[in-house]
Amino acid sequence: MPHIVGDRVYLREYLLSDVETLYQWRTLDEIVWWTGSYVWPESLEQARAFVEAQVNNVDPANRKFAICRREDDKYLGHIGYEYLDLRRQNTEVGIVIGDVTSLSKGLGEESLRLFLKVCFEELNLHRVGLRVIRPNKRGYRCYRKCGFKEEGALRDWHYSRGQWHDLILMGILRDEYMAASQA
Ligand SMILES: CC(C)(COP(=O)(O)OP(=O)(O)OC[C@H]1O[C@@H](n2cnc3c(N)ncnc32)[C@H](O)[C@@H]1OP(=O)(O)O)[C@@H](O)C(=O)NCCC(=O)NCCS
């Protein structure tokens, strides 16, 4: 994927030099907890293995791309496919901004909009879905801003901090994306 450039961020392929930064994010509760059951690299070796897998494109259906800030090229997080299915023309998207100082500044929205452009305008997908745990109000709001609709919930899907949390299923269809981008 070539660089996909927005106003404040761009998406690029992973580089081996991203390993250290990714590894540092594993302990940040304000990031990690909100991702629900997402499995973070626990060791430097696991972080390296993750990044090498992205660099070598070993699993194109689950590939992630780095989110970088335009003004200084800082690597802020990643976004990518969760099970890209070109035959059924759908995928889920996973997104994480790991740089805590960059949360709630609209960068997630911008990154997701760039990614949706690739999904619908280049890959010709029909549907993009995502999942978010119910307490993640920030994520939910970001996805609603990008046009995702709530489609249902898996009740008590995730146990953490002494209680069960629902997993909300969201999605955006091609027609909805096209209508919103022409508005
Ligand atoms: C989810 C995530 C990608 C969103 O990106 P972001 O850049 O922080 O989000 P944005 O700034 O584009 O939008 C967040 C919105 O939620 C709002 N918000 C923030 N905290 C909130 C809260 N506690 N309750 C309700 N809304 C909240 C913000 O005000 C903003 O809405 P607005 O633009 O209408 O003011 C990012 O926060 C993140 O990576 N978080 C940690 C990991 C994570 O949750 N990953 C996603 C798992 S599904």
The Cα diameter of the chain in Å comes to 46
The H helix count followed by the E strand count for the chain is 6, 8
Indicate whether residue 22 lines ligand 1 (CB < 6 A).
Answer: no
C-beta pairs of 41-49 under 8 Å, 24+ apart in sequence = 44/19, 44/20, 47/19, 47/20, 47/22, 47/23, 48/16, 48/19
Q: Where do the domains of the chain lie, and which CATH numbers do they carry?
A: 4-182 (3.40.630.30)
pLDDT of residue 4 exceeding 70, the answer is yes
**What are the tens digits of pLDDT across the range 156-166?**
999 998 999 99
What are 61-72's pLDDT values in tens digits? Answer: 999 999 999 999
112 lines ligand 1 (CB under 6 A): no
Look at ligand 1, atom 48, and give the residue with the nearest C-alpha: 132
90-97/64-69 β-pairing: unpaired
* Per-residue pLDDT reduced to its tens digit, 81-122: 999 999 999 999 999 999 999 999 999 999 999 999 999 999
